[in-house]
Chains A and B, each alone.
Chain A
Amino acid sequence: MKLNIDGLLVYFPYDYIYPEQYMYMLELKKSLDAKGHCALEMPSGTGKTISLLSLIVAYMKANPLEVTKLIYCSRTVPELEKVVAELKNLMDYYEQQLGKGKPKILGLALSSRKNLCINPEVSQERDGKNVDALCHKLTASFVRTNHKRDATVPVCSFYESYDAHGKEMPLPEGVYGLDELQEYGRKKGFCPYFLARHAITHANIVVYSYYYLLDPKIAEVVSKELSKNAVVVFDEAHNIDNVCIESMSIKITRRTLDKCQQNIDGLSKQIQRLKDCDAERLKTEYQKLVQGLRDANIARETDVILANPVLPDDVLKEAVPGNIRTAEHFLGFMKRFLEYMKIRLRVQHVVSESPPSFLKDCYQKVCIERKPLRFCAERLNSMMRTLELVEIHDFSALSLLCHFATLVSTYAKGFVLIIEPFDDRTPTISNPILHFSCMDASIAIKPVFDRFQTVVITSGTLSPLEMYPRILDFRPVTMATFTMTLARTCICPMVVSKGNDQVAMTSKYETREDVAVIRNYGNLLVEFCSIVPDGIVCFFTSYIYMESTVAAWYEQGILDQVQKHKLLFIETQDAAETSLALLNYQKACENGRGAVLLSVARGKVSEGIDFDHHFGRAVIMFGIPYVYTQSKILKARLEYLRDQYQIRENDFLTFDAMRHAAQCVGRALRGKTDYGIMVFADKRFARADKRSKIPRWIQEYLKDGLCNLSVDEAVQVSKRFLRQMAQPFSREDQLGLSLLTVEQLDQEDTKKKLQSRMQYV
């Protein structure tokens, strides 16, 4: 259908549209017009992706000079594929409507070499890092020069032919998912990975992972040349601050340092060898460094493996300091730094320190100044290139140390160094870890906000919205949250606060070991197992809590009772085991046996796995999933947030807990025909500060009467709800209410009604 969104002609590839999609597009258009950033929350399963794509494509078509590019960032490969599929759908619709006059659009997905490589030998490898290393072995510029001299040196034929012909031959317009890229590569004999990486500079729509924009190490390589008037979309962005922080944080253990020692020994041997046979090469490198000519101009695209973390421009233009110019001096320098790190890790108690005091101590102990430290990553990079090392993968430990050196000397604020002598859980085993932790999520994402004219942050659960601009430090032009328009009430959220014996249910630390609480939680599960058909997903606050609770349930005989009704599956910390459990859980749901999956909030299951329809008829959240508050890193971050952004500890903790809780319960509902019960089993959920932080589309249905239920009452409510949902439901029921045609959309009163479905923040 063709829509008129505030004067813009939008082609929408479906016959019907959800009201909230229409509102979403309106808001999006506003921020595109204003060239500003926005944060939008819309429930999952209401077609965010297609709304985003169709509006932005239409906008690009109407204003080709204002917006030239759409960069769509998502988290996982399946999600990327979903976006590409929607985009294809949209382009087909354009084709069908306009025929030849359709906009010329090149859209493509970019992923790691592991997902794109078509070289028969390299693509055999399973591990992403190995694929990268093998690829580098075949395509590094020095390998290719050697190949010219000596034909026995193996190179990748796909890359060779891409390099020879592929650059002049741009990808024909169309939409390329990962499979299409591989296919095209096979047909032409080009390497799809480098083809895609080259093509993103002139593609109109790029779909890739967060990390290509946020992780400075990768962003430098991949996303450097993207134009300013692009629209960046971060989908599923509820965790974006953690992604930002992770991409800037470094963890160094004693083992890393031992490996560094081996790396350095290996390097010094290599240098000795090179000195004996080809001293000329070291000299040229030295000359280059003396002149201050950065390697930037000679760096070929295949060589940039260890790109530097964000450095201020002025440093990058400066020459490498004299005391690490020659290879031996640099190695000596690294040795000293390594020894220094070793003594730092030899601690008896937890040390928390700021970068400046670390640098000062470093200068006093081993006479290392700040300046050469800043150049570590660059210098190592240059050295690896000179030595023509093929197995770069082996040197990951040393490059990590160099990254750390560069970061610690570059950023004085927003970072903290925490050295822990042992793990909190095993205080007797010495296992020193140095955390170099970023506390300010805005550091990593700031370049993105500064560079691109519009950044859209969107997810199904972004509540409370006002927190995101604060922790990411940006000014949105629009912030809005949309609720789902439903023809029937298909979600049933409730807060169960007490058991039948009136003992309060809570995962509060003081009472979580209480037998009565555990028994009540067990009763709740048993009761729900007996009335809810198909799948039930339960979330615990942590693995430890889950283990102790399940053990207690076993002793109390609750597990036996559960198994009378359903099969039981448990998520573990092992990814392979979990996916097996998940597979069998789905099998059990498919064949009507019904199953219970016990999993953990913040675990793998809670992020990214959908329990639509019969896979999740009920979700039970046992307790509030607060993060482990005793961690030193968290404490440092909380303190930083309070000082810099005036965010109180409790506010942030509650925010974090509630967004994970929302993420968990949101798993159950992935569309309007779906239905599900959402049980918040903790009395604290009923409090105003927690309740107000639940996404609006859930909060709407969480009436006061459903906020303080006992197990029995909850069962009654659920029974009634399930009976209602069991009635036949067809598209006709939805039409006009939650599903609109163009004509209905044009009516005045619908527009008025629509306004109420949205709320600005």
Chain B
Amino acid sequence: MDDQGCPRCKTTKYRNPSLKLLVNVCGHSLCETCVEALFVKGSGICPECGTALRKNNFRVQLFEDPFIEKEIEVRRKILKDYNKKEEDFKTLEEYNDYIEMIETLIFNIVNNIDVDETRQMIEQYKRENKDQINKGRNKKSKDEEYLECLIEQEKEESSLKRKFIVEEEQREKDSKKKHKEALLDELMFSDRSALDILNEHKTDIDKENELRVPVMATTKFSTGIKLMGKYLRHIRSASDEEKGGGFESKLACMRALLDAVNGLFYLPDQV
């Protein structure tokens, strides 16, 4: 990283740690001072390639390789127009051909191969597919949605967890305090020997700790359906023989309800 430097004044990051490299559309970098010096008027040409540039188009170079910076700039622009998603195609092959075509366009522009022709092609595509472009602009691909859903889930879980931990700590503190007080009280007023009381309390606490089984995380498979009385009205009540086998009318009701709604939760590509 240290050998990164301004091609014009040859300052490097090593010599000037506060060096700030800027980059413009042509993909050549310049340091901040050079930009100030060269583009006093607000516009000028790139000292490397001679492209006409505007000063306010300069932005901080994010990547080490200015070439990548340029490529991503181009890519963003093109992807804005070529915004079809996998779902818009009938077959996977068509989609694959489509994204390969985009890739070729970007490659050509960035590497200065038939730039004019490519640009013309893009213009033509833009004209022909205006509606499609506008429609697809704000649409997210399935993949993105999936990721976002995951991130959302994560956030939710972590906030729940935090709450849970705080509660747990509080409860533990309270119970400790309670036990201590109870023990002191008993020691003060009881006639039994101190050792007995101590032992008894110890076993009490142990028992309580054992009883407190960690709460299992609720499964995501729960439908969340609450069995209300009105559902049960439509179900034949279980006969005595059936009840003997552990069967209840609630079970059948639940199963019917699940059958009715479980299709809603089916997302084929999230399996």
Contact = CB atoms under 8 A, between A and B. Distances in A.
Contact of A322 (B1, B98, B217): B98
Contact of B79 (A328, A365, A367): A367
Given A339-B63, A367-B76, A322 B95 contact: yes
B144 to A, nearest CB: 7
Contact of B100 (A323, A366, A648): A323
Interface residues of B, number: 38
A646 B164 CA distance: 13
B103 interface: yes
A321 B99 contact: yes
Q: Helix, strand, loop or mixed for chain A's interface?
A: helix
B147 A339 contact: no
B114 interface: no
A412 interface: yes
Contact of B161 (A325, A359, A643): A643
A318 B154 contact: no
A336 B96 CA distance: 20
Contacts of B71: 332, 336
B147 A360 contact: yes
Interface string A643-686: 11010100000000000000000000000000000000000000
Contacts of B75: 367
Most chain A beta carbons < 10 A, residue from B104, B144, B150: B150
A152 to B, nearest CB: 38
A643 B217 contact: yes
B65 A646 contact: no
Interface in B64-104: 64-65, 68, 71-72, 75-76, 79, 92-93, 95-104
B198 interface: no
Contacts of B102: 323
Contacts of B151: 354, 356-357, 360
B72 A336 contact: yes
B117 interface: no
A246 to B, nearest CB: 25
A325 B92 CA distance: 14
A593 interface: no
A239 interface: no
Contact of B92 (A318, A339, A366, A370): A318
B96 A321 contact: yes
Contacts of A326: 100, 103
Contact of A323 (B64, B92, B103): B103
A466 interface: no
B64 A322 contact: no
B61 to A, nearest CB: 10
Most chain B beta carbons < 10 A, residue from A323, A340, A343, A646: A323
A342 B144 contact: no
A363 B144 contact: yes
Interface in B149-173: 150-151, 154, 157, 161
Contacts of B157: 643
A412 B157 CA distance: 14
A325 B100 contact: yes
Contact of A319 (B63, B92, B103): B92
A129 interface: no
Contacts of B40: none
Contacts of A365: 62, 72
Given A332-B71, A366-B72, A319 B143 contact: no
Q: How large is the interface on A (under 10, 10 to 19, 20 to 34, 35 or more residues)?
A: 35 or more
A283 interface: no
Nearest to A354: B154
Nearest to A647: B214
B199 to A, nearest CB: 14
Contact of A339 (B68, B144, B214): B68
A644 B63 CA distance: 38
Nearest to A358: B147
Contacts of B103: 322-323, 326, 329, 332
B99 A322 contact: yes
A30 interface: no
Nearest to A366: B72
A339 B64 CA distance: 7
B68 A335 contact: yes
Contact of B1 (A319, A335, A346): A346
Contacts of A290: 93, 96
Contacts of A321: 96, 99
A371 interface: yes
Contacts of A644: 217
Nearest to B110: A332
B148 interface: yes
Most chain A beta carbons < 10 A, residue from B93, B99, B157: B99
Nearest to B111: A328
B216 interface: yes
B27 to A, nearest CB: 13
A339 to B, nearest CB: 4
B214 A648 contact: yes
A332 B65 CA distance: 12
Given A339-B65, A360-B148, A412-B150, A319 B96 contact: yes
Contacts of B216: 646
Interface of B: 1, 62-65, 68, 71-72, 75-76, 79, 92-93, 95-104, 107, 141, 143-144, 147-148, 150-151, 154, 157, 161, 214-217
12 contacts: A322-B98, A322-B103, A323-B103, A329-B104, A336-B68, A354-B154, A357-B151, A360-B144, A360-B151, A365-B62, A367-B75, A646-B217
